[in-house]
Amino acid sequence: MQLSSPEYLLRLLKHLINHQNEVRQIHSILLTKGHLLFDPNSPPLSIWKPTLLYNTLIRAHLNFGQNHKTLHLFTRMLAHNAPPNAHTFPSLIKAATFSLPPSGTSLHGQIVRRGVLCDSFIQTSLLSMYSQLGDLLNARKVFDEISRPRVVEYNAMLDAFSRNGDLGSAVLFINRMSNRDVVSWTSVISGFSRSGLFREAIQFFREMIVHADVTTGLVKPNEATYVSVLSSCANLNEGGAFGLGKQIHGYIIRNEEALTVSTGTALVDLYGKKGYLKDAMKLFDQMVVRGVCTWNAMIFSFADNGREIQALDMFEKMRREGFLPNGITLLAVLSACARAKLVQIGLELFQAMWSEFQVLPIMEHYGCVVDLLGKAGLLGEAVEFIKSMPFDPDASVWGALLGACKIQGAIELGNEVGFKLFNFQPQTCGQYVTLSHINAGLQRWGPAADVRKALKMSGIRKVPASSWIDPM
């Protein structure tokens, strides 16, 4: 086979699909050889080559996380007259989900016009896209158009309910499904967890492991399930929650060989949040492979337990080992600085965020700096800092200032800020719901009552004992 033939280059591309430099080189060879150009006069067997090549390139760039480039490749594809097929769209839909401005609806239009809407992969991708964009209505519409949904399609709809906080519907839905797999169960557990309903998440996990799905061996909890329920255990301040977490830890040790990045991090977080820093650190050291998230969990553990200096040391160590801090890392170190009143270091880190770490500060970081200045008694500076923000502060930022006013006894400013906060109350700050660290206490109780009612109505029983998980 010729080294510059489209067949060979396609094979090469598939083989090196996760290697950015190689993909780029193959891409440029393909361009110079004209292999990406659709030629109606080529032999019938190779007429689809440009489409295949473009689909693979699109997939590669999606994997690289280059959503904009992924979508741009589609316009190049159209310009080269390479006809998109049903395989083209799932990757594009995924890229559109996470790119700004949203281009999902225009993709939806393209799909309809090209008559590939009946493809089940495309339907699931679209459903999932609307779900991730918080558009439950359109997600539902897509689902209702699916003629014979199977478990994957059901799961996508289930996840749409779960991740958008409609857990009542999620529970009703999963109960009505004739087949459930581990993804179905995990979707609901993580949905509860995401909504801050940790007790319900744990309860649902307990339901899962005594359900016929699991006892018959049809379904088995996996890493995603454990991570979700461990996170709920970490966040629920009840003795039983920690106990369950430790049981799961034991179970993982007995059954899986080594801790993965996800389970290891979830466990570091668990022990850290419960104040068992030695155990958290021991786990951290045991882990063979760590991720940025692992470091984040460890830094947060120190920061939240009054060991701010150790948190900052950990941050230095992380950088020495070549890890690039992300937005969460910065949040962890900024909160450590705030707690220890290390104003200078905190401000320097905030300044370095963009210039050194290429992390764009978001609302939470600003909230952290306000907290930092406020805790140190620099209320005037905190107010100035809020005024300098490039976007409007939300309730979490004003809340940080209010907290500082209380500590400092600044009654007048406190009243002013309190009034501003009062105006925020009726709003649902939906997109910040996950930012529980700073938003703690805000927007938590609304959905909870409804969900408990739905749980009750859906006939979830009291939890019997299980062979390896004790009832709480």
> Which residues would be at the binding site for DNA (CB under 7 A)?
14, 48, 51-52, 55-56, 59, 85-91, 94, 116, 119-125, 128, 150-153, 155-156, 159, 163, 181-184, 186-187, 190, 193-194, 222-225, 227-228, 231, 234-235, 261-263, 265-266, 269, 291-293, 296-297, 300, 326, 328-329, 332
CA pair distance 143, 152, nearest whole angstrom: 11
| Minimal distance, residue 172 CB to DNA, in Å | 18
Q: Which is nearer to DNA, 244 or 410 (CB)?
A: 244
Sign of CA dihedral 357, 363, 368, 373: positive
Q: Which is nearer to DNA, 249 or 386 (CB)?
A: 249
- Which two structure tokens, joined as six digits, stand for 18? 């996760």
Residue 287 backbone zone (phi > 0: left; psi -120 to 50: alpha; other: beta): beta
Q: Which is nearer to DNA, 182 or 277 (CB)?
A: 182
CA pair distance 374, 262, nearest whole angstrom: 35
Q: Which is nearer to DNA, 88 or 305 (CB)?
A: 88
Q: Which is nearer to DNA, 268 or 405 (CB)?
A: 268
What is the radius of gyration, based on Cα positions, of the chain? 25
Query: Which of 435, 431, 430 is CA-nearest to residue 399?
Result: 435
| Minimal distance, residue 449 CB to DNA, in Å | 23
Q: Which is nearer to DNA, 162 or 455 (CB)?
A: 162
Q: Which helix (H) or strand (E) holds 269?
A: helix 261-273
| Minimal distance, residue 388 CB to DNA, in Å | 27
CA pair distance 229, 247, nearest whole angstrom: 12
| Minimal distance, residue 170 CB to DNA, in Å | 11
* Calculated CA dihedral for residues 30, 34, 37, 41, nearest 10 degrees: -130
Q: Which is nearer to DNA, 259 or 410 (CB)?
A: 259
Tokens 């839909």 — which residue? 93
| Minimal distance, residue 154 CB to DNA, in Å | 8
| Minimal distance, residue 24 CB to DNA, in Å | 19
Is 330:353 a contact under the CB 8 Å cutoff? Answer: yes
| Minimal distance, residue 255 CB to DNA, in Å | 15
Tokens 């700073």 — which residue? 438
Where do runs of H (alpha helix) occur along 66-176?
67-79, 89-97, 104-113, 120-132, 136-145, 151-163, 167-176
Q: Which is nearer to DNA, 138 or 186 (CB)?
A: 186
| Minimal distance, residue 289 CB to DNA, in Å | 12
Contacts of residue 30, defined as CB under 8 A and 6 or more positions apart, other chains included, come to 6, 9, 36, 53, 57
CA pair distance 356, 350, nearest whole angstrom: 10
CA pair distance 117, 134, nearest whole angstrom: 21
| Minimal distance, residue 232 CB to DNA, in Å | 8
Measured CA to CA in angstroms, residue 381 lies from 385, 387, 418 at distances of 6, 10, 18
Query: Which of 216, 213, 147 is CA-nearest to residue 180?
Result: 213
Q: Which is nearer to DNA, 227 or 379 (CB)?
A: 227
| Minimal distance, residue 265 CB to DNA, in Å | 5
- Which two structure tokens, joined as six digits, stand for 334? 């900024």
Is 120:156 a contact under the CB 8 Å cutoff? Answer: no
Q: Which is nearer to DNA, 295 or 350 (CB)?
A: 295
Query: Which of 396, 471, 442, 459 is CA-nearest to residue 196?
Result: 442
28-33: which pairs have CB atoms within 8 A and are 24 or more residues apart?
A: 29/4, 30/6, 30/57, 33/4, 33/6, 33/9
Q: Which is nearer to DNA, 91 or 138 (CB)?
A: 91
| Minimal distance, residue 155 CB to DNA, in Å | 4
| Minimal distance, residue 310 CB to DNA, in Å | 15
Q: Which is nearer to DNA, 149 or 393 (CB)?
A: 149
Distance of CA 416 to the CA centre of its chain: 36
Tokens 């600044």 — which residue? 410
